[in-house]
Structure formats: C-alpha cells, structure tokens
Structure 1
Amino acid sequence: MSYSPRAVLDTLRIPVVRVPLRDTWGAWSPLHRKIVIASGLSPVQERCVLAHEVEHALADDLGCGVGLYAAHPQAIPQERRADTMAARKLISISDLASTAQWADDIRIAAAELEVTERMLRVRLHDLDGEGWPWPATSKTAG
C-alpha cells in the first residue's frame, strides 16, 4: 500500500483540479496537461481515480474514454490498460495474498487494501485463474 499516485503526479508536475462532474470521476487532459477529478470523492476513490489517470498521462494517451473521445477506436483498450496498470500498482501481490488469508468478502478486502471494490475486481481479473477466494460466503462454512 505504498504506491502514491499523488507523488507521481507531483514528480511529473501534473496538476489535479477538482470540479463537479456528473458522468465520470476523473479525466486526463493531454491538451492542458492536467487531471480533472470529481469533487467530493472519498480518499480511497480519489487514490484509485488518480492512479488510473496517471497511467493515461504516462502513456501519453489522447484522452480518456469520455465525451467525444469515447467513440475513438483506441479509447476502450486505453481504458483497460489504464485500469490494469493502476490496479497492479495499487495492489501488490504480497498485500493481496496477505489480505486473502483472512478477508472473506471483497468489500472487506478492498477496504483493507485501501482501494475501491472495482479496482480490486480489476486486479483479480488480471490474475484470473489464480484461485483467489472471493466471492466467498464464509471461511468457516466453506
């Protein structure tokens, strides 16, 4: 849990601007070289959104899969890559394995890992076939 997307953005000198957004939690603007995020996000939501947007910035993506850019043929692959790379940086294998030893629910695991459930699902999907225990009903009931 040591990855800090905010520290990466500071190093890259990319500002983060908070504005009211309705259709998304964040977006990378290559034209303005800044990241826009929705105001009112929780610290966990903000961390995950920033990690995703950092990946767009590092890849020099044309933008995010929102607005006019959503119809661009590269939008979906770029969004998947940004999600996957962000999830890998936010959730290390060792932290995931440690949490899997005791957490019997994806919500509890996401809270422990300080990520959104969606980001945890992205990471688990990235490890598809590895036999992770979620969703489990009970550790004692099997």
Structure 2
Amino acid sequence: MAELEQLRIPVLRVHLRDTWGAWSPVHRKVVVALGLSAVQERCVLAHELEHALADDLGCGVGLNACHPLVIPQERRADMLAARKLIAISDLAAVAQWADDVRIAAAELGVTERILRVRLHELNGEGWPWPATSRIAG
C-alpha cells in the first residue's frame, strides 16, 4: 500500500464478482474487492502494484483474462509479488517446522496461492496454474 501511495496510485474498494483486484492503466487506479481479509488484500495489492510498475495493459482494455498479452503479465505480477512478500530467509525459517502450506502461508502473512507461486519459482517450475487463472490471491 505504501508503494502505491508513493506512486500516487489510488486504491478503490468495490464489490467485485469474479476477481479480487484489478489494475486500470487508463485511470491509473487499483481496484480491490470488498470483504477480503488483510492477508488477501496485501497479496492482491502486491500483485496489482507489479502491474502498475510494469505499465501493463489492463484486462479492461479490450483484453480478456485469456488473451495472449495478459497471461505473461499475470505470471510476472504473481512471481514478482511473491518475491517481494516472501523473503527466502523467512521461508527457510518457516520451512524448519511448518509441514503444511496453509500453516506456512499463515505464518508468512500471505495467501496459499502466493506461497505456491514462490515455491514453484524456487523449484524452477514456474507459474503453477493454467493460463486462464484470474485471481491473484
């Protein structure tokens, strides 16, 4: 949130039905779904920040979530957000005792999805979801 504020990018919280957040390059705003937990919102904001930093095209600019230009943007935003949110030293400390992804994610203050992205990247496996995935949480 602090980085978005420094960039003077407002965050709007609205009712969203099919996603947790979105970056609007036309309006230079981030939209976040109402009702998210603090952890979910933190991960969504980190993901959308990466879109803003990269000047990505939003899905609302004539592109849907499966468009060939959107898929690499989503992968990159997920991976960069996961890197920012999960330091290797923190992950190593939690890995010493946590034997479950849910427990580790909770301890690290991230969603299971973001933790899985980080783990897959560290294992050299890349983005762990099909190209149609839309939710950053």
TM-score (norm 2): 0.86
Of 91, 97, 111, the residue aligned with 1:96 is: 91
Distance 1:23 1:109 in 2: 27
C-alpha contact (below 8 Å) 2:24/2:60 kept by paired residues? no
Distance 1:66 1:91 in 2: 31
Distance 2:35 2:71 in 1: 26
Q: Secondary structure at the match of 1:60?
A: coil
The CA RMSD measured in Å over matched residues stands at 1.9
Distance 1:21 1:67 in 2: 19
Ranges of 4+ aligned residues in structure 1 off by more than 2 Å: 64-72
Paired AA for residue 94 in structure 1: S
Aligned match of 1:134 = none
Q: Secondary structure at the match of 2:12?
A: strand
Q: Secondary structure at the match of 2:22?
A: strand
Q: Which moves more between the two structures, 61-70 or 7-16? A: 61-70
Distance 1:15 1:128 in 2: 35
Deviations 1:91-113 (A, max 9, x none): 00000000001111111000000
Q: Which moves more between the two structures, 78-87 or 56-65? A: 56-65
Distance 1:56 1:68 in 2: 15
Paired AA for residue 25 in structure 1: W
Displacement of 1:63: 1.0
Q: Secondary structure at the match of 1:18?
A: strand
Distance 1:65 1:76 in 2: 14
Structure 1, unmatched stretches of 5+, are: 1-5, 131-142
Q: For this pair of structures, how many residues does the alignment match?
A: 125
Higher RCO (C-alpha 8 Å, min separation 6):
2
Paired AA for residue 54 in structure 1: L
Aligned match of 1:84 = 79
Q: What percent identity do the matched residue pairs reach? A: 79
Displacement of 1:42: 0.2
Q: How does 1:30-41 map to 2 (within 5 A)?
A: 30-41=25-36
Of 44, 49, 68, the residue aligned with 2:39 is: 44
Aligned match of 1:109 = 104
Paired AA for residue 93 in structure 1: I
